[in-house]
Structure 1
Amino acid sequence: MEYIDVAVVGGGQSGLAAAHVLRRQGLTPVVLEASGQATGSWPDYYDSLTLFSPARFSALPGLSFGGDGDRYPHRDEVVDYLTRYAERLDAEIRTHTRVESVERDSTGFTLRTADGRRLGAAGFVAATGAFGNPLLPDLPGQHDFTGELLHVADYRSPAPYAGKRIVVVGGGNSAVQVGHELADVATVTLATRAPVRFLPQLRDGKDLHHWLTATGFDHLPPEWLIHFVGGTLVLDTGHYRSALETGRLQRRPMFTALDGDAVVWADGTREQVDVVLLATGYRPNLGYLAQLGALDVTGAPLHSGGISATHPGLVYLGLEFQRSFASNTLRGVGRDAEYVIDALAAHVRKAPAAAGL
């Protein structure tokens, strides 16, 4: 069995940031990526996706985006950026390598891959994000629904939905952004449990992320932020709010059931729809840790700030609200990487010297 310092599972933004910081700490990471390229889930997002933060606030440690710092990079720009980042990274990246399970052993961890290989590591970074584990609510009547039911993870562009009647479930950024572009070609209603709440993207001519950085709001602990915000906020330059106010994009309270080819609204009315699009979020994609005993009964990691509460030498990156408002974003993951890798490096340096670690 091959032994390494640190296994980094996931070659997206979180895994690449972890590898960068590990190299600075003098450790030798190996990045294990299930897909064919170290760009995470970005190639699979919908075609029109742009970052909500400007380029100057959206870089990983060690490499700027370049170009106009005030632009909002498109999905494909992010893919190109991550490709460049991986090429400059002084770390081995093994693509087409899916980790299926992890076990504890006397020197650290044993990882088993889909092709039957075993890899021993003194330290382990779980950086697989959440895109691979979309949250699919169990809606009354959904199994008999005759229309199209899909998650936003499977949505790419509005073209196939021209002329259709669509209900988008959710009131977050993705729901509103996708619903807004679908409204160009279809009749769209947002179904939400509470009214959509907007947060202005620009204040005094500067992007919100300038103020988050300048005030230190970005660094506040997630518990305080969740209490302060009190729910989901949608970043808006004014276009989304205007679309709802003018009726171009509708919003109704969440329907109570699906019934054949229709939704049943909260007031009891039944309306035929062609598509129900679930923008209902994601959960950490950590199934490979199930046998390790590092997750709770819901599949969420047991951790404090990204440091495992159950297994020394195991850390996480890219979890929503892991340590701050920005933890699962390009602009926030670098700070979290510094924090968790400090703890991981201290553990690895104390690990047994098996295989010359």
Structure 2
Amino acid sequence: MTQRTDVVVVGGGQAGLAAGYHLRRQGLDFVILDADASPGGSWQHMWDSLHLFSPAEHSSLPGRLMPAQAGETYPDAGHVVDYLADYEKRYELPVQHGDRVGAVRRDAARLLVEADSGTWRARAVISATGTWTRPFLPTVPGRGLFTGRQLHTVNYRSPADFADQHVIVVGGGNSGAQIAADLALDGKVHVTWATQRPPRFLSDDIDGRALFDVATARRRALDAGHTDTGGVASLGDIVAVPPVRAARNAGLLTAKPMFAQLTVSSVQWDDGSYAGADAVIWCTGFRPALSHLAPLHLRGPRGHIPTDGTRALGEPRLHLLGYGDWTGPASATLIGAGRPARDAAGEIAHLLHS
């Protein structure tokens, strides 16, 4: 079955919903195809203790403030899922859940979007699939020999899964610090936190809103031809959310240098010392989930598609939202999703009406 529409949005998480909001305001016909069976995007798959970096009022999509969560300064992932589900319903966004997109292809004046529901012929496409479905695992000597459990951030849920075990948490970013803190504060897990370089904690008074402002200021400075200030990276790598702060202040969050290799049942450091390990949790980041765009042959360095703002340089009918700063300042965050979505919808409306 083939259907026609002005715009197909691929992905129904926060970036896809923000796109839908602005496409509706532009008066365009569109559909949002989402692989997940229910609303909430990647937030419905996060670990149990995860909380936002920012208060609710600074974590909102366009048009609808996130309500505060009772008893929480920083809302948890479940609250975000409820907010996104309500947002989708409130604005009557045409989201088709459980509808995975396999490929986007050129077909003369249209783009063909091949999905589980059939083929869509669209005049423009917005890709908003994020990174959660493409976890990155580094090449580490001995990783294939280790007989313990290995999992990525995407598979972690709670300390209860590791009671009385020795767990190595790898990664010096927010996920690594939060998961190491979650395990350490539980008191029933022996945790070793390994990082490539000494962890850099941001000042305790910095949260997601401040980071968004810093990222936006950097983008504006670069656009104006000014010297790169370094943006968020110049401040540090880890936001000191309350659990991380508590574990750090209690002396439970001291990182060791990255180990040299894995053995059958342990990790080995450069100095020859070993530590037994029952599990390794790789908090080593993600890559953009862009396999559906492979037929367009647009990939550039580091797997990114070169863009001008959100518009793909090699295909002006394609826009990308929510993959990181290369598709808009802090565009992979709730508060940062709205502005790039507005710009993309405006550009698409101009293209289709010209």
When residues 245 and 48 of structure 1 are mapped into structure 2, their CA distance, relative to the original with a 3 A threshold, is closer
Query: Are positions 1:262 and 2:263 aligned together?
Result: no
Distance 1:55 1:241 in 2: 20
1:103-131 deviations in Å (ceiling 9; x for gaps): 1111220011135x211000100000000
CA distance in 1, matches of 2:210, 2:196: 30
Matched residue pairs, number? 343
Instruction: Give the Cα–Cα distance (whole angstroms) in 2 for the partners of residues 306 and 243 of structure 1.
Output: 39
Alignment of 1:317-356 (within 5 A): 317-322=321-326, 325-350=329-354
* Paired amino acid for 1:196: P
Aligned in 2, Cα 1:170/1:41: closer, same or farther, shift over 3 Å? same
Q: Distance in 2 between matches of 1:252 and 1:234?
A: 16
- Give the Cα–Cα distance (whole angstroms) in 2 for the partners of residues 277 and 265 of structure 1: 17
Contact map agreement 2:322 2:328 (CA 8 A) in 1: no
Contact 2:54-2:209 within 8 A present in 1 as well: no
Residue in 2 that maps onto 1:133: 134
Q: Under a length normalisation based on structure 1, what TM-score does the superposition of the two structures give?
A: 0.90
Which secondary structure state, in structure 1, belongs to the residue aligned with residue 31 of structure 2?
strand
Establish whether residue 217 from structure 1 lines up as the match of residue 205 from structure 2. Answer: no
Match of 1:240 among 238, 244, 251: 244
- C-alpha spacing 1:235/1:273, structure 2 compared with 1 (3 Å): same
Alpha-carbon distance, 1:298 to partner? 4.6
Counterpart in the other structure of 1:353: none
1:210 and 1:56 map into 2 onto residues whose CA distance is: 10
Aligned with residue 76 of structure 2, among 74, 77, 102: 74
2:33 corresponding residue in structure 1: 32
- For each residue in 1:73-124, what CA deviation from the matched residue of structure 2 results, as whole angstroms up to 9, or x when unmatched? 1110000000000001243111111110111111220011135x21100010
Amino acid at match of 1:96: G
1:151 aligns with 2:148: no
Asked if 1:229 is matched to 2:230, the reply is no
Which shows bigger deviation, 135-144 or 64-73? Answer: 64-73
Q: TM-score, normalised by structure 2?
A: 0.90
Q: What is the RMSD computed on CA atoms of the aligned residues?
A: 2.2
Alpha carbons 2:182, 2:243 under 8 Å: kept? no
Give the one of 92, 95, 109 matched to 1:93: 95
Structure 1 325/315 Cα, relative in aligned 2: closer, same or farther at 3 Å?
A: closer
Cα distance in 1, alignment partners of residues 229 and 168 from structure 2: 30
Is residue 2:192 matched to residue 1:189?
A: yes
Gaps of 5+ in 1: 351-357
